[in-house]
């Protein structure tokens, strides 16, 4: 954590370009222009940065991060932050007690009770959608990262374990852990720990509160969760309107327990073209826009802005799927290694993976795309996280890339050639540039190699990743909590978010990841995570792309932003802001 604080201190820069006489447009309205779309606003299933931003403004958790810190907290729906000193955390680290704040109202008029909190924790864990966020709470409170086994069958007794993990005692909520879990407090700040109104949720088709019926509500299909497009939180803002792929509008909740925010209306506009976002910022039609690093020089040259450089606890990579779904899949051509496609197990051959890794020019990418303003990672355990080490990388070398391609599938890849598609999400120039670099460099090796690059809207991109449709996909991860487990589990464990969708199955990795979170011994954890970082390189699991240093550009009349390495450039805590 000291390393993270140092990184923050060194890299956080505030640059103010004064534009005297600039007028504040719509002083009680904040407009953010972004290129990411939202799939769901259900706290139990949302697991992307765009959805998290919406949820954090409408719902609340028991506690939240204290300003820029990733390791200290402030109370929200809890009356105080529990600790060993105040008796809120037991000496053995297995019992957490939260006194629930009184006088808090939900948007629909109900009043918060401890029963709402307990219901929310249980309901969220019961839902446990494939590829969703609930593995964190499940792992902490039940000892299992899923309600289902490797074959997708519900684990015997898991719902009874969930039922016993959280209870009400008077005005208090008690969490019972099977063993100490160091990152729990940080997890409780995440959107998946948000609290909903029990009676309202049940009336909308959510879990009925009877643990015997839990299986009926487990793993809903994406897009069919009851709270996908509706909300009833306790947060400072409520949903006014949502037009997918156009805009999302927040309206201030005037009965908010924490005081009235200065911003009455928050609007997130979907604007995928940088030229349009730039013009909106220049004209004051947007108070902030999402700025990919490629465009930072243009922003720095503009007047009337205030910019912040914020290092992120995040990791983006190009990932290989080792067992592609061939059914109706246009991304793999013929589905065979016949020159017109690739087989489902194309990237199961380590030689293919290493060829792609050697075809990525890291240094050119750093300068041309990021203007040098980026950290080039070597594994998912990025700088700023405990136990980070620098491991080797596959340096750009097309000769070595060709050598590995000649070995792949016993020489058949080189002899027959192949055809495939690389995808990235629409509007993300950093990922688009990496996709084209990989495609062009691989195609330069052999005229029989053909790769198309296509962009897909974010809401559809996630669905296709989860359907194993993409042979190579580019995506990233923002920290849920500041611990290496939050990065090695999703990227490397067979049940992890990306590990699962890469069809990565490695018993040594799974055992190491499980052991890393099961011990509080710092030296044992250091050894475990060092080994995992080396395996990422040795097994050529994916192409490390970037650890972003986000540049946030506001009109200079916007006040109140507080930087935190946990939050991506999509996030905005509206209640902190004012325009003056």
Beta-sheet pairing, 314-320 with 472-478 = antiparallel
Report CA-CA distances (Å) from 82 to 34, 162, 328: 36, 21, 52
Whether residue 22 has pLDDT greater than 90: no
**Is 429 within 8 Å of 292 (Cβ atoms)?**
yes
More confident residue, 279 or 568: 279
For 60-233, which CATH class? alpha beta
Whether residue 244 has pLDDT greater than 80: yes
The torsion angles phi and psi of 317, rounded to 5 degrees, stand at -145, 160
Per-position b or e across 382-398, b if 16+ CB within 10 A of its CB: bbbbbbbeebebbebee
In the chain, CATH 3.10.105.10 covers 319-548
Four-CA torsion 1, 504, 457, 429, nearest 10 degrees:
60
Query: Coil, strand or helix: which one is 100?
Result: strand
Whether residue 185 has pLDDT greater than 60: yes
Per-residue pLDDT tens digits for 393-422:
999 999 999 999 999 999 999 999 999 999
In the chain, CATH 3.40.190.10 covers 238-311
Give the chain's mean pLDDT.
Answer: 93
Fold of 238-311: D-Maltodextrin-Binding Protein; domain 2 (3.40.190)
DSSP 396-460: --HHHHHHHHHHGGGGHHHHH-EEEEEEEETT-HHHHHHHHHHHHHHHTT-TTEEEEEEEE-HHH
In this structure, CATH architecture of domain 319-548: Roll (3.10)
Q: Tell me the sheet residues that pair with 27.
A: none
Whether residue 296 has pLDDT greater than 60: yes
DSSP 60-89: --SEEE-TT-SS-EEESSBSS---TTTTSB
Please give the pLDDT value at position 2: 40
In the chain, CATH 3.90.76.10 covers 60-233
Please give the pLDDT value at position 548: 87
Query: Coil, strand or helix: which one is 158?
Result: helix
**Mean pLDDT (whole number) for 342-356:** 98
Please give the pLDDT value at position 8: 46
Per-position b or e across 215-241, b if 16+ CB within 10 A of its CB: eebbbbebeebbbbeebbbbbbbbbee
Please give the pLDDT value at position 283: 95
CB count in 10 Å sphere of residue 70: 23
**Mean pLDDT (whole number) for 20-49:** 89
Please give the pLDDT value at position 12: 45
SS3 content of the chain, % helix, strand, coil (to 5): 35, 20, 45
Rounded to whole angstroms, how far apart are CA atoms 571 and 566?
10
14 pLDDT band, cuts 50/70/90, is very low
Rounded to whole angstroms, how far apart are CA atoms 299 and 281?
9
CA 516 to chain centre: 21
The backbone region for 241, taken as left when phi is positive above 0, alpha when psi lies in -120 to 50, beta otherwise, is beta
Task: Name residues whose C-beta falls within 8 Å of residue 201's C-beta, 6 or more positions apart in sequence.
Answer: 119, 120, 123, 207, 226, 227, 232
Q: Report the range of poorest mean pLDDT among 160-169, 178-187, 236-245, 434-443.
A: 178-187
**Is 132 within 8 Å of 124 (Cβ atoms)?**
no
- For the chain, what percent of residues have pLDDT higher than 70? 96
Half-sphere CA count of 426, side-chain side, radius 13 A: 15
The torsion angles phi and psi of 197, rounded to 5 degrees, stand at -75, 120
169 burial type by CB count under 10 A (0-12 exposed, 13-18 middle, 19+ buried): exposed
325 burial type by CB count under 10 A (0-12 exposed, 13-18 middle, 19+ buried): middle
The torsion angles phi and psi of 430, rounded to 5 degrees, stand at -65, -40
Per-residue pLDDT tens digits for 442-500:
999 999 999 999 999 988 999 999 999 999 999 999 888 889 999 999 999 999 999 99
Please give the pLDDT value at position 122: 98
Please give the pLDDT value at position 518: 83
Rounded to whole angstroms, how far apart are CA atoms 375 and 72?
26
Rounded to whole angstroms, how far apart are CA atoms 370 and 431?
11
CA 536 to chain centre: 20
The torsion angles phi and psi of 428, rounded to 5 degrees, stand at -90, 100
Task: Name residues whose C-beta falls within 8 Å of residue 371's C-beta, 6 or more positions apart in sequence.
Answer: 293, 294, 296, 297
**Is 506 within 8 Å of 494 (Cβ atoms)?**
yes
Q: Which two tokens stand for residue 207?
A: 């879990």
Rounded to whole angstroms, how far apart are CA atoms 155 and 152?
9
Residue owning tokens 């008077």 = 170
Whether residue 9 has pLDDT greater than 60: no
Rounded to whole angstroms, how far apart are CA atoms 42 and 422?
30
Q: Which two tokens stand for residue 6?
A: 């140092």
């Amino acid at each position: 954590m000291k390393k993270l604080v140092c990184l923050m201190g060194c890299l956080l820069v505030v640059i103010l370009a004064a534009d005297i006489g600039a007028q504040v447009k719509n002083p009680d309205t904040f407009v953010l222009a972004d290129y990411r779309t939202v799939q769901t606003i259900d706290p139990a299933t949302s697991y992307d940065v765009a959805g998290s931003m919406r949820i954090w403004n409408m719902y609340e958790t028991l506690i939240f991060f204290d300003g820029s810190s990733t390791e200290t907290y402030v109370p929200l729906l809890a009356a105080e932050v529990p600790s060993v000193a105040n008796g809120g955390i037991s000496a053995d680290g297995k019992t957490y007690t939260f006194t629930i704040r009184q006088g808090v109202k939900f948007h629909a008029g109900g009043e918060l009770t401890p029963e709402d909190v307990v219901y929310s924790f249980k309901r969220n864990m019961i839902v446990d959608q494939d590829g969703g966020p609930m593995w964190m709470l499940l792992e902490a409170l039940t000892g299992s990262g899923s309600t289902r086994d490797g074959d997708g069958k519900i684990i015997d007794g898991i719902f009874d374990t969930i039922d016993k993990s959280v209870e009400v005692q008077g005005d208090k909520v008690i969490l019972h852990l099977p063993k100490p879990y160091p990152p729990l407090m940080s997890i409780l700040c995440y959107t998946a720990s948000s609290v909903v109104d029990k009676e309202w949720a049940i009336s909308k088709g959510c879990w009925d509160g009877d643990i015997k019926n839990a299986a009926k509500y487990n793993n809903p299909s994406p897009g069919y969760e009851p709270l996908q497009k509706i909300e009833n939180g306790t947060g400072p803002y409520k949903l006014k309107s949502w037009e997918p792929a156009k805009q999302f509008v927040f309206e201030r909740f005037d009965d908010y327990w924490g005081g009235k925010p200065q911003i009455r209306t928050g609007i997130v506009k979907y604007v995928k073209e940088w030229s349009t976002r730039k013009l909106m910022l220049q004209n004051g039609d947007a108070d902030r826009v999402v700025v990919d690093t490629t465009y930072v020089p243009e922003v720095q040259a503009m007047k009337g802005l205030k910019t912040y450089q914020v290092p992120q606890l995040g990791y983006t990579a190009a990932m290989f799927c080792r067992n592609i779904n061939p059914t109706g899949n246009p991304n793999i051509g013929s589905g065979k290694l016949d020159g017109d496609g690739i087989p489902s197990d194309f990237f199961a051959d380590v030689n293919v993976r290493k060829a792609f890794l050697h075809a990525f020019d890291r240094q050119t990418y750093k300068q041309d795309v990021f203007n040098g303003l980026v950290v080039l990672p070597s594994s998912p355990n990025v700088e700023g996280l405990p136990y980070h080490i620098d491991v080797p990388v596959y340096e750009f070398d097309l000769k070595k890339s060709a050598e590995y391609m000649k070995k792949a599938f016993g020489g058949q890849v080189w002899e027959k050639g192949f055809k495939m598609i690389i995808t990235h999400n629409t509007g993300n120039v950093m990922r688009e540039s990496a996709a084209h670099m990989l495609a062009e460099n691989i195609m330069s090796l052999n005229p029989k190699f053909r790769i198309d690059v296509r962009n897909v809207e974010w809401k559809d991109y996630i669905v296709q990743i989860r359907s194993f449709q993409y042979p190579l996909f580019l995506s990233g991860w923002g920290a849920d909590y500041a611990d290496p487990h939050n990065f090695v589990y999703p990227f490397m464990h067979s049940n992890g978010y990306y590990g699962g969708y890469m069809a990565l199955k490695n018993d040594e990795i799974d055992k190491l990841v499980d052991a890393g979170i099961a011990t509080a011994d710092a030296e044992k954890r250091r050894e475990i995570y060092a080994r995992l970082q080396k395996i990422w390189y040795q097994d050529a699991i994916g192409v490390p792309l970037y650890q972003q240093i986000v540049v946030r550009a506001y009109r200079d009349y916007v006040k109140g932003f507080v930087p935190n390495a946990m939050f991506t450039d999509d996030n905005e805590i509206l209640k902190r802001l004012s325009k003056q």
